Every structure is written in structure tokens, then in C-alpha cells.
């Protein structure tokens, strides 16, 4: 690969509030970072850059903000073409896409083994960015899941926080029936075009769409069948959920106060807090899969990590920046938790005061501490390179399953569609 232009070192500069979508090459003297969502990912990276520059006044860090789809398109196009000029030094990649990038573009990303102490991070975050013994990511935010619920609605139905501890999905469905009967509120909003719920159920018991060697784990896989069967049971209990379509309707159900709960990633906290229902929400562990040995209350939905491009002329500086701030600055993780609601993957940060603080919005619960405890227990799985393709195949079968369709027929159809797409 062609090397990026060697760049002279300058005084500190941090780009703030500037969109640089038209940028085609890195400016001199900068470690350039590509990310999306300036209010979340971008804001945390700006804080990290400010901390690093305070002790490295000769270092320049420039943040380039993209729309997520634009970043992915540009990165893939350049890697596929072999054109390295204009690539960043550091790029943010969603966890579900990590394996696709690492396997499709071998040599494009810098292994960070020996430069990052991975023993200090949530194991599942490390595993998903590991290929052939090398780990390539600087782990960032987690999508560790929990059950957000309306305490006032459940109290009206006769339930307390204790009733949601250590339950399985069968018990959850029975609770949801009572909530609907006694309060009129559906327990969930469900989008039949979204397979995210199935992913949550799968990973909670250490299952996924693929085996460790990347083969489809669908037909003949006990965990996949268990997850799909449990989700089908929920879908067929139609009184407990409100059908929704798209993100706005999905979030609108619980933000409006109509829907009594949502099981999703920790990043939904900010949206729930925007509902102006302080003291009326609580957080419980994710229900576990019934009758499955080794099933846990911990799972994940989403999350992303930072990667260093091997073509970077300043990759040593880029790695040092990531290792020094993202790799060990516990106070940094406290600040981005408070300011952006970013739950990082550094396990040592869990001991900080921000994680232990009680949150009045959630009835005085130490919400961040709960999520960080669950984070450490999320099973590590191989996300593979075709998560999106399997999602589409699963979603195609959900309407039929909701109407009582055959589990075995759905599995056969999903398996056939996936194998046809990935061969």
C-alpha cells in the first residue's frame, strides 16, 4: 500500500464543530480521526484529544465528522481500491462490522497486541476484534443490555423491583400479561422488521449467527432454535406488545408513556431520560433464556471501537494516544459517562464515583454500576462478517412466526437464504 505523506509536527490543534466531509487527505502535523455522531462519539473523542494534548503539546488531533453510512462507504471504497492516501490514522467501526473489515481487508489495520493491555477490558469486546491471535481494536462503548421499565405502571399491576430480578423470558411474558390486563399498557413495542431482539437473546447464552470458524450457526443449532422459539412465543402473545415500525415509533412508545418497558442497550438511557418522567423508571437485569444451561442475564446490542490504519504515517503516535487515554484513563471514562452517557469497556472505570452514583431519574438506583456489572458478564461470540445478511433473513420470517408459523420451517428458510447470500 502507498504510504500517506509524512507530516511535520505542529502545535496543538483540535477541530471543533467543523464538518470536513470534503477532506481528501490529512493535513500536515495531524493524527486524523474519522467518526460519526458528534454528540456522542465525536464528543468523547474531543475530550480524549484535549486530555492527550495537555501532556503532548506537540501533537495535533483532528476529528472528521461523517454520517455513519458515509463513513462506512468511504472507508470500504478506499480499502477496496487499495488507495490509502486520504485515509485517516484512526477510524471508528461498529462492532458488528469489525470482522467483515478485518477479514476482507487483511493488513489494512494495525494489530495492537502488546500495545494495549486487553486484560483490563470486557472480554467480549476484545474477542470480537481478534483474528488469528491478533487483536486490532481500542475498545470503546458497550451496548450492554438491560430491561428498562416503568415502576409506576408495574406497581399498578402489583409488581415491584424484586419481581423482575433473576427472571426468565417465560416469567417475563406472564408478568407482561398481567400488566396489560390490569393497566391497559402493553409491555413492549415490537418492530417485526428488526432482528435486534433475537441477537440479544442469542448472545445472552453465548450463541450467535455463526460458529467460531465463521460458518452459519442456524439450522441444527440448539441455541439459535431456542432463541427463535422464545422470541416467537413472545410475538404470538400479541396482547403484551404494541406493533411499531421504525425508530421513531419504537422510541415513541415508551417516551410517550404508552409502553411499560423496553429491553435494549445502555445507550438508550439518554432517550428514556428525555421523556421527562423522573422517578418513574427503573432498570432490571435482562431476563434470561429459559431452560438453557449457561444462560445469563447479560447481553449486548451495538457498540463500537477505534482502529488504527496500517497505512498511517503516524500510527505510533495514534496508538500511543489511544493507549494513554482510552486504554487507562479512568477519570476520562467517568467524565464521558456523566457528559455523554458513554459506558466504556474499561473495567477499572467501574470503581469510579460516577458509576456508583444514584440516579434520581431511575428512583435512586445506581444505574451505571448495574450496567457495568452486567458488562463484565456479556458472553463473547464471533460476530462474523454477515450479521446484516442474517438479520434480513430473520426479519423476513418474523411476521409468519408472529402468526404461529413453524419454527422449523422458519429456521430452514433463514438458513437457506443466508447460505445463498454468503456463498
Q: What is the pLDDT of residues 175-196, one digit of tens each?
A: 999 999 999 999 999 999 999 9
Q: Is the pLDDT of residue 265 over 80?
A: yes
Kindly tell me if the per-residue pLDDT of 408 is higher than 50. yes
Establish whether domains 31-143+301-356 and 144-300+360-422 are of one fold.
Answer: yes
pLDDT of residue 2: 34
Closest among 358, 361, 359 to 280, alpha carbons compared: 361
Q: pLDDT at residue 5 above 90?
A: no
The helix (H) or strand (E) run that includes residue 283 is: strand 281-284
Q: What average pLDDT does the chain have?
A: 91
Q: Which 8-state DSSP code applies to residue 404?
A: T
| 398 has a pLDDT exceeding 80 | yes
Residue 212: how many other CB atoms lie within 10 Å? 11
Q: What is the pLDDT of residues 117-131, one digit of tens each?
A: 999 999 999 999 999
Please say whether the structural domain 144-300+360-422 has been given the CATH code 3.40.50.2030. no
Listed in sequence order, the DSSP H helices in 211-268 are 222-236, 246-255
Cβ pair 278, 361 in contact under 8 A: yes
Among 145, 155, 212, which Cα is nearest to 179's?
155
29 pLDDT higher than 80: no
Q: Tell me the CATH architecture of domain 31-143+301-356.
A: 3-Layer(aba) Sandwich (3.40)
Spatial distance between the Cα atoms of 246 and 249, rounded to a whole number of angstroms: 6
Predicted confidence band at 47 (pLDDT cuts at 50, 70, 90)?
very high
pLDDT of 58-114, one tens digit each?
Answer: 898 999 999 998 999 999 999 999 989 899 999 999 999 999 999 999 999 999 999
For the CA atoms of 76, 77, 83, 85, what is the dihedral angle to 10 degrees? -80
Say how far apart CA 87 and CA 268 lie, in whole Å.
31
Residue 3, pLDDT > 60, answer no
What was the pLDDT predicted at 6?
Answer: 29
* Span 200-253, pLDDT tens digits: 999 999 999 999 888 999 999 999 999 999 999 999 999 999 999 999 999 999
| Average confidence (pLDDT) over 316-326 | 96
Confidence check: pLDDT of 20 > 80: no
263 pLDDT above the threshold of 70:
yes
Torsion from C-alpha of 165, 348, 270, 323, nearest 10 degrees: -150
Q: Do the beta carbons of residue 205 and residue 223 sit within 8 Å?
A: yes
385-408 mean pLDDT = 96
Q: How confident is the model at residue 270 (pLDDT cuts 50, 70, 90)?
A: confident
Task: State yes or no: pLDDT of 11 exceeds 70.
Answer: no
Task: Name the residue among 423, 307, 382, 385 with its Cα closest to residue 104.
Answer: 385
Query: Of 27-41, 144-158, 231-245, 353-367, where does mean pLDDT reach its minimum?
Result: 27-41
Model confidence, pTM: 0.85
Average pLDDT in the 149-159 region?
Answer: 98
Domain ranges of the chain: 31-143+301-356, 144-300+360-422
Strand partners, 288: 168
Amino acid at each position: 500500500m502507498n504510504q500517506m505523506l509524512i507530516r511535520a509536527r505542529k502545535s496543538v490543534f483540535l477541530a471543533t464543530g467543523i464538518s470536513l466531509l470534503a477532506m481528501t487527505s490529512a493535513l500536515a502535523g495531524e493524527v486524523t480521526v474519522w467518526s460519526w455522531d458528534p454528540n456522542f462519539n465525536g464528543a468523547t473523542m474531543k475530550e480524549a484529544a484535549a486530555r492527550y494534548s495537555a501532556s503532548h503539546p506537540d501533537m495535533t488531533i483532528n476529528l472528521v465528522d461523517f454520517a455513519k453510512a458515509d463513513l462506512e462507504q468511504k472507508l470500504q471504497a478506499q480499502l477496496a481500491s487499495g488507495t490509502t492516501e486520504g485515509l485517516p490514522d484512526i477510524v471508528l467501526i461498529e462492532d458488528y462490522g469489525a470482522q467483515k473489515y478485518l477479514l476482507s481487508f487483511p493488513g489494512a489495520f494495525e494489530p495492537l497486541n502488546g500495545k494495549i493491555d486487553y486484560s483490563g477490558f470486557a472480554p467480549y469486546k476484545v474477542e470480537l476484534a481478534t483474528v488469528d491471535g491478533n487483536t486490532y481494536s481500542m475498545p470503546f462503548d458497550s451496548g450492554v443490555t438491560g430491561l428498562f421499565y416503568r415502576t409506576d405502571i408495574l406497581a399498578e399491576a402489583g409488581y415491584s423491583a424484586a419481581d423482575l430480578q433473576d427472571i426468565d423470558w417465560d416469567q417475563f411474558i406472564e408478568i407482561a400479561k398481567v400488566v396489560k390486563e390490569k393497566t391497559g399498557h402493553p409491555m413492549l413495542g415490537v418492530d417485526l422488521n428488526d432482528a435486534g431482539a433475537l441477537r440479544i437473546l442469542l448472545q445472552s447464552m453465548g450463541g450467535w449467527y455463526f460458529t467460531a470458524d465463521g460458518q452459519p450457526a442456524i439450522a441444527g443449532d440448539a441455541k439459535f432454535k431456542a432463541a427463535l422459539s422464545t422470541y416467537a412465543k413472545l410475538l404470538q402473545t400479541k396482547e403484551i406488545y404494541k406493533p411499531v415500525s421504525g425508530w421513531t415509533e419504537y422510541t415513541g412508545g415508551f417516551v410517550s408513556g404508552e409502553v411499560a418497558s423496553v429491553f435494549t442497550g445502555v445507550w438508550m438511557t439518554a432517550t428514556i431520560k428525555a421523556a421527562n418522567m423522573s422517578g418513574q423508571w427503573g432498570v432490571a437485569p435482562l431476563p434470561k433464556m429459559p431452560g438453557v444451561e449457561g444462560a445469563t442475564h447479560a447481553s449486548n446490542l451495538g457498540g463500537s471501537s477505534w482502529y488504527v490504519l496500517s497505512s498511517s504515517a503516524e500510527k505510533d503516535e495514534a496508538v500511543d494516544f489511544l493507549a494513554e487515554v482510552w486504554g487507562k484513563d479512568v477519570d476520562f471514562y467517568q467524565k464521558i459517562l456523566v457528559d455523554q452517557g458513554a459506558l466504556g469497556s474499561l473495567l477499572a472505570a467501574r470503581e469510579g464515583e460516577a458509576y456508583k452514583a444514584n440516579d434520581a431519574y431511575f428512583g435512586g438506583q445506581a444505574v451505571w454500576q448495574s450496567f457495568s456489572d452486567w458488562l463484565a458478564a456479556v458472553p463473547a461470540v464471533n460476530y462474523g462478517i454477515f450479521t446484516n445478511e442474517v438479520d434480513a433473513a430473520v426479519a423476513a420470517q418474523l411476521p409468519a412466526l408472529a402468526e404461529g408459523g413453524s419454527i422449523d420451517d422458519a429456521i430452514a428458510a433463514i438458513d437457506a437464504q443466508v447460505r445463498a447470500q454468503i456463498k
